[in-house]
Amino acid sequence: MNTLTSSLRSSQRSPRHRLYTSMMLAMLAGLVVSVLSGVVQVPPQDLLAALVAPFFASAAPAADSGIAHAVLWELRLPRALMALLIGASLAMAGAAMQGLFGNPLADPGIVGVSSGASLGAVMIIVLRIDVLGAWTLPVGAFCSGFVTTWLIYLLARPSRFEGDNARLLLIGIAINSVAGAMTGYLTYLASVEQLESLMFWSMGSLASISWTPVLTIAPLVLFGLVVLRRQAVPLDLLALGERQARHSGVDVTRLRRRLIALTALLTAAAVAFTGTIGFIGLVVPHLVRTLVGPGHRHLLPLSAIGGGLLLMIADLGARSLDPPNEIPIGILTASIGGPFFLWLIARRQPGGGY
């Protein structure tokens, strides 16, 4: 009997293990392709030598100071890693929001953090605010996104009934509209010189990424993954309905507050360094859900892997489709996410399910 039970459990786990392995291998392959691809043509063997040179001084001394080292360590590798981290942040935040609202159409920006962060960045650019030097823009965008999210939550707090999520959703949509209008007005006031910065901020870009933002956001992503992973069981219970979740011992109010804070943290950190990149948090969790089911124990980490992989592929396309120019990465993600969003709406059943 024990042998039969263990074999059944093993057969249930093996497809998920294969999926984890496949996605990790795909992510590694994407990282290699991203590092090898670019406008500057560098032989793969030179890039490999530059990769191992800092760890093995005798491997290739010449490569360590040559163009291969600069291209790999200063341009391509930090950019590829940043794409992985940003994609993971947005996808995890999207999975958490979809679990909180019980709606596969939910997106990290639904709680206002993206629009709030964008508004803060636009204000800093147009008003020429320079308090923290190069850190003024990312710090200002991050704080603005957090403040906007907290404002939405405070406005939604008076409700004490089971429709809290609907109230939060509606207030988020309203605040997003107001922030969008203010952003549009500031863009109207911007000079021609400022419009270029505003364009790349509003459409998203991984250009000019260095190791500093990578090392800054990496601990936040790891923290978010660990903490969100611990909310898997409460999120699964919440999927049964707020009343059932409360009867099962879940503090729904505290869970909602925690999820909103984590989502704001992950999304604001992403927007602060790369601008607004849409649809990653919508597309990836839904695709992963079709592969592993609605359980958040596997949905959250696999969404992180899938989000990083998708954004890295999109960034590779942004660099490769029109060389030496670079297409804003938000255009590519929107070209994928827009039709996907319409497909989700089209397959929505009359009763409200999917």
CATH number at residue 146: 1.10.3470.10
Q: pLDDT at position 181, please? A: 93
Nearest to 201 by CA among 79, 113, 303, 115: 115
How far are the Cα atoms of 101, 161, 231, 253 from residue 165, in angstroms, in the given order? 6, 9, 17, 10
Nearest to 164 by CA among 264, 238, 113: 238
Q: How far is it, in rounded angstroms, from Cα 93 to Cα 104?
A: 12
What letters, b where the CB count within 10 A reaches 16 and e where it falls short, cover 307-321? bbbbbbbbbbbbbee
286: in domain: yes
36: in domain: no
Q: pLDDT at position 296, please? A: 93
Q: What's the predicted TM-score (pTM) here?
A: 0.87
DSSP 56: -
Tell me which H or E stretch contains 255. helix 252-274
* Total domains, the chain: 1
Q: How much helix, strand and coil, in percent to the nearest 5, is found in the chain?
A: 75, 0, 25
Q: pLDDT at position 50, please? A: 80
261: in domain: yes
253: in domain: yes
244: in domain: yes
66: in domain: no
288: in domain: yes
Domain range holding 145?
A: 91-269+278-346
Q: pLDDT at position 63, please? A: 43
Q: pLDDT at position 2, please? A: 53
pLDDT in tens, the chain (354 residues): 455 455 445 545 578 888 999 999 999 999 999 998 888 888 888 888 787 777 765 554 454 457 888 888 888 999 999 999 999 999 999 999 889 888 777 788 777 788 888 899 899 999 988 888 878 888 888 889 888 888 887 887 655 444 566 777 788 888 888 998 999 999 999 988 888 788 877 888 898 888 999 999 999 889 988 999 999 999 999 988 888 888 888 898 899 889 988 988 898 889 888 988 988 998 899 889 989 988 999 999 999 999 999 999 999 999 888 888 888 898 888 888 888 778 877 776 555 454
How far are the Cα atoms of 100, 148, 279 from residue 108, in angstroms, in the given order? 11, 13, 9
30: in domain: no
